[in-house]
Chain A
Amino acid sequence: MSLASILKSKLVPTELSEQINRIRKPIGSLGYDPWGYNNEAIKYGFSLTRHIYEKYFRVEASGVDSVPAEGPVLIIANHSGQLPIDGLLIGYALASRKDKPRMPRAMIERFFPTVPYLGNLLNEVGAVLGDPINCAKMLANNEAVIVFPEGVRGSGKLYQDRYQLKRFGNGFMHLAMKYKATIVPVGVVGCEETIPAIANIKPLAKALGIPYAPLALPVVLPAKVHLNFGPPMFFDDREIPEEQVTDRVEQVKGEISKLIDKGLSERKRLF
Chain B
Amino acid sequence: MSKQHRPRILVTGVAGALAQQVIDRLRDHCDLVAVDFREQVYLGDDIPSYCIDFNKRVFEDLFRRYKFDGVIHLGRIMSSQLTRMRRYNANVLGTQKLLDLSHKYGIRRVVVLSTFHVYGAVAYNPALIDEEAPLKGVGLSADLVDSVELENLANIYLWRYPELNITILRPCNIVGPGVRNSISTLLASERAPVLAGFSPMMQFIHIDDMADAIVLAYNKPRRGVFNVAPDDWVAYQHALKLCGCQRLPIPSVPPLLPKLILRTLNLRSFPSYLMHFFKYPVVIDGRAFAREFAFTPQRPLKEIFRFYRENKKPV
Segment from B17-25, B123-131, B163-171, B184-192 that makes contact with A: B123-131
CB contacts (< 8 Å) of A29 on chain B: these are: 232, 300-302
With an 8 Å Cβ cutoff, the count of chain A residues facing the other chain is 26
Contact A34 B124 (CB under 8 A): no
CB of B70 closer than 8 Å to a CB of A: no
Q: Mark B65-97, 1 if CB is under 8 A from A, else 0.
A: 000000000000000000000000000000000
CB contacts (< 8 Å) of B265 on chain A: these are: none
CB of A159 closer than 8 Å to a CB of B: no
CB contacts (< 8 Å) of B238 on chain A: these are: 30, 32
CB of A133 closer than 8 Å to a CB of B: yes
CB contacts (< 8 Å) of A133 on chain B: these are: 126, 128, 130
Most B CB contacts (10 A, CB to CB) among A34, A110, A116, A119 go to A34
Chain A residues 89 to 118 lying within 8 A of chain B, measured CB to CB, are 110, 113-118
Contact B201 A32 (CB under 8 A): yes
Most A CB contacts (10 A, CB to CB) among B196, B197, B201 go to B201
CB of A28 closer than 8 Å to a CB of B: yes
Contact B127 A116 (CB under 8 A): no
Q: List 8 A-B contacts (CB under 8 A).
A: A28-B231, A34-B127, A35-B201, A113-B280, A119-B197, A120-B199, A129-B126, A137-B126
A132, chain B: closest CB distance, angstroms: 8
CB contacts (< 8 Å) of B234 on chain A: these are: 28, 30, 32
Contact A33 B197 (CB under 8 A): no
- Complex-state Cα separation, A28 to B232, whole angstroms: 5
Contact A30 B232 (CB under 8 A): yes
CB of A68 closer than 8 Å to a CB of B: no
CB of B137 closer than 8 Å to a CB of A: no
- Contact A36-B281, Cβ < 8 Å, known A110-B124, A120-B199: yes
Contact B235 A33 (CB under 8 A): no
CB contacts (< 8 Å) of A123 on chain B: these are: 201
Q: Mark B224-246, 1 if CB is under 8 A from A, else 0.
A: 00000001111100100010000
CB contacts (< 8 Å) of B127 on chain A: these are: 34-36, 128, 134, 137
CB contacts (< 8 Å) of B233 on chain A: these are: 28, 30, 32-34, 36
Known: A34-B233, A36-B200, A137-B128. 5 other contacts (CB 8 A): A30-B301, A110-B124, A116-B195, A116-B196, A137-B126
- Complex-state Cα separation, A263 to B232, whole angstroms: 42
CB contacts (< 8 Å) of B123 on chain A: these are: 110, 113-114
Contact B235 A34 (CB under 8 A): no
CB contacts (< 8 Å) of B301 on chain A: these are: 28-30
CB of B269 closer than 8 Å to a CB of A: no
Contact B126 A116 (CB under 8 A): no
Most A CB contacts (10 A, CB to CB) among B126, B195, B231, B301 go to B126
Chain B residues 166 to 210 lying within 8 A of chain A, measured CB to CB, are 195-201
CB of B296 closer than 8 Å to a CB of A: no
- Contact A120-B198, Cβ < 8 Å, known A28-B234, A30-B302: yes
CB of A38 closer than 8 Å to a CB of B: yes
CB of B55 closer than 8 Å to a CB of A: no
Contact B280 A120 (CB under 8 A): no
CB contacts (< 8 Å) of B256 on chain A: these are: none
A195, chain B: closest CB distance, angstroms: 24
CB contacts (< 8 Å) of B124 on chain A: these are: 110, 113, 129, 131
CB contacts (< 8 Å) of A114 on chain B: these are: 123
CB contacts (< 8 Å) of A120 on chain B: these are: 197-199, 235
CB of B1 closer than 8 Å to a CB of A: no
CB contacts (< 8 Å) of B253 on chain A: these are: 116
- Complex-state Cα separation, A115 to B235, whole angstroms: 16
CB contacts (< 8 Å) of B280 on chain A: these are: 113
- Complex-state Cα separation, A123 to B197, whole angstroms: 12
- Complex-state Cα separation, A88 to B265, whole angstroms: 41
- Complex-state Cα separation, A16 to B195, whole angstroms: 33
